[in-house]
Amino acid sequence: MLELPGRLERLTGAARERAGRLFEVRLVSGRTVPPPEMEPWLVAAFGSVDVIRDQAMLKVTNRVTLEATLFAPLRSRRPLDGPDAHRDLAAEIAATEGDPFCHPETGTPADTFGRVRGARVTTGANAALADAHHAVLVFDTHDPLAFDAETVIDLLRTGREWAELARRDDPDAVNYVLIWNCLWRAGSSIIHGHAQALLGSGSHYAAIERLRRDAAGYDGDLVEELIAVHRSVGLTVDLGGEVVLVAHLTPRKERELLLIGRPGMEETEPAFAAALGRTLIAYRDRIGVSSFNLALWRPPLANAEGWEAFPPIVRLVDRGDPFVRPSDIGAMELYGTPIVGSDPYDLIEALR
Ligand SMILES: [Zn+2]
């Protein structure tokens, strides 16, 4: 990641101008003075004392959205309290079999219109609603990591069908979002494989509305240019059918990916749905991610004036080792600029 400024400098013409217009990139350095008493510990923990003495970090800011990230490579090498190599995630997951989601027809409330029963996913109403319409999308498999491409495709299809049914009784509810918090570290209270869908009225969910406003105030096509800048610095993979995978220059947290379709595309279209399936499988199997947050951003289902340039976008972020005690989200992530230790180039290389 530290080579990003050099890559940007080698850009020419419109590509260089576009990158400079969208992103502020600053390479910064810091120095520390470790006492000799610390040296054995630093060598054991970080491999050398010199990497502690002189450190380079990269600050990337999206000038339009003000999303920003502090890339601090050493952060990912810090010793963390609590990881226990003897704990077995598969066993931990299996130990909770028999939960209410193992029998969703009797373990979750139904919506007033009933349930949507997909090939792999059954809907229920969330027992504790967060909005007027709030579903749980319960997988047939207890293990949340046992999904395959079909599960993901069926999830998108079932979620959308649920939203269309909910909207029939409440035509003002058009703002649809599908989210997946996988395992407790990502905020999930139930281990059993499940995603959620919300359908709201009024403004779209805030983060989505934020991007629409930023795009509306930008002189150009913001999403298209974001893709173009990432492509110009080698952070994209084209997945076919005009679907692009992006290792984000300003990730919210570790290993954030954006899967971006083209404007007007439905998230249920095979090109997009299958690309998401492949991406999630690679995220799990090649990168080794077990706990993640996923959100589908898309325009409102109706009354979508002003959303014409907005494609379906899935944002996906790694929440780290489920058995590590410290939360990955601290005050900088909530109220400052997120600090990230992982490298978007490592991520995109592993997904090519
Ligand atoms: Zn279960």
Q: Which two tokens stand for residue 269?
A: 């279209």
Measure the CA–CA gap between 286 and 332, rounded to whole angstroms.
Answer: 29
CA distances 155 to 89, 116, 124, 183, 237, Å, are: 24, 11, 13, 17, 23
Mean pLDDT of 293-311: 96
CA of 96 relative to ligand 1 center, distance in Å: 7
CA of 147 relative to ligand 1 center, distance in Å: 14
pLDDT tens digit sequence for 191-237: 999 999 999 999 999 999 999 999 999 999 999 999 999 999 999 99
CA of 240 relative to ligand 1 center, distance in Å: 35
CA of 136 relative to ligand 1 center, distance in Å: 13
Instruction: Report the percentage of the chain scoring pLDDT > 70.
Output: 98
Reported as a pLDDT band with limits 50, 70 and 90, residue 85 is low
Average pLDDT, the chain: 96
CA of 191 relative to ligand 1 center, distance in Å: 7
Q: Which two tokens stand for residue 73?
A: 């490579």
Around ion ligand 1, which residues have CB less than 5 A away? 99, 101-102, 142, 192
166: left (phi over 0), alpha (psi -120 to 50) or beta: alpha
Beta bridge mates, 320: none
pLDDT tens digit sequence for 122-151: 999 999 999 999 999 999 999 999 999 999
- CB-CB contact of 249 with 230 (8 Å): yes
294 pLDDT higher than 60? yes
341, 334, 287, 246 alpha-carbon torsion, rounded to 10°: -90
Measure the CA–CA gap between 16 and 329, rounded to whole angstroms.
Answer: 33
Q: Would you state the pLDDT for residue 83?
A: 55
CA of 325 relative to ligand 1 center, distance in Å: 24
CA of 313 relative to ligand 1 center, distance in Å: 29
CA of 101 relative to ligand 1 center, distance in Å: 5
Among 18-22, 46-50, 114-118, which stretch is predicted with the lowest mean pLDDT? 46-50
CA of 352 relative to ligand 1 center, distance in Å: 33
**Secondary structure of residue 190 in the 3-state scheme:** coil
Q: Would you state the pLDDT for residue 87?
A: 79
CA of 137 relative to ligand 1 center, distance in Å: 13
Reported as a pLDDT band with limits 50, 70 and 90, residue 84 is low
CA of 176 relative to ligand 1 center, distance in Å: 26
Q: Would you state the pLDDT for residue 77?
A: 80
Reported as a pLDDT band with limits 50, 70 and 90, residue 298 is very high
Measure the CA–CA gap between 218 and 309, rounded to whole angstroms.
Answer: 12
80 pLDDT higher than 80? no
Reported as a pLDDT band with limits 50, 70 and 90, residue 81 is low
289 pLDDT higher than 80? yes
CA of 97 relative to ligand 1 center, distance in Å: 5
Q: What are phi and psi of 312, to 5 degrees?
A: -65, 135
